[in-house]
């Protein structure tokens, strides 16, 4: 598993790669979670295009991201490019009802940008 962090203006894109499963990489995920928590960004997009599998370890990472990010002022967290197998796990655990999921990175970025525009317009 690998988590690459890529800034896009005021949005941080998390490029996830591999199998997010129980194993010796849980320390790595905790470190990446700390990096993300300590960042100045409040909008995050998790790109699942290269994730083939997720289990409780990966779900714990995603939930940790969601709760940390949404606690920030203006915090938003969305998923994009979720494959069938990962989507099935998200639906089974009912996380698909909580986490905004977009079919493409472009759609997810646009949704995050729209949030900024509506906040600027209304606030």
pLDDT one-digit tens code per residue, 53-98 = 999 888 999 999 999 999 999 999 999 999 999 999 999 999 999 9
Task: Count CB atoms within 10 A of the CB of residue 47.
Answer: 21
β partners of residue 11: 8, 43
Q: Tell me the CATH number for domain 2-122.
A: 3.30.750.24
Q: What is the dihedral sign for C-alpha 41, 82, 65, 30?
A: negative
Distance CA 1, CA 30 (A): 12
- Torsion of the alpha carbons at 93, 33, 36 and 107, rounded to the nearest 10: -30
Average pLDDT, the chain: 89
pLDDT of residue 115: 66
pLDDT of residue 24: 61
């Amino acid at each position: 598993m690998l988590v690459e962090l890529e800034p896009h203006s005021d949005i941080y894109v998390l490029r996830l790669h591999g199998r997010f499963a129980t194993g010796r990489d849980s320390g790595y995920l905790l470190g990446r979670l700390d990096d993300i928590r300590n960042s100045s960004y409040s909008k995050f997009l998790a790109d699942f295009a290269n994730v083939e599998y997720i289990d409780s370890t990966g779900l714990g990472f995603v939930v940790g991201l969601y709760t940390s990010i949404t606690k920030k002022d203006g915090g938003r967290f969305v998923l994009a490019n979720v494959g069938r197998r990962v989507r099935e796990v998200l639906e089974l655990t009912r996380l698909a009802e909580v986490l905004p999921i977009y079919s493409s990175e472009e759609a997810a970025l646009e949704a995050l940008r729209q949030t900024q525009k509506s906040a600027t317009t209304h606030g």
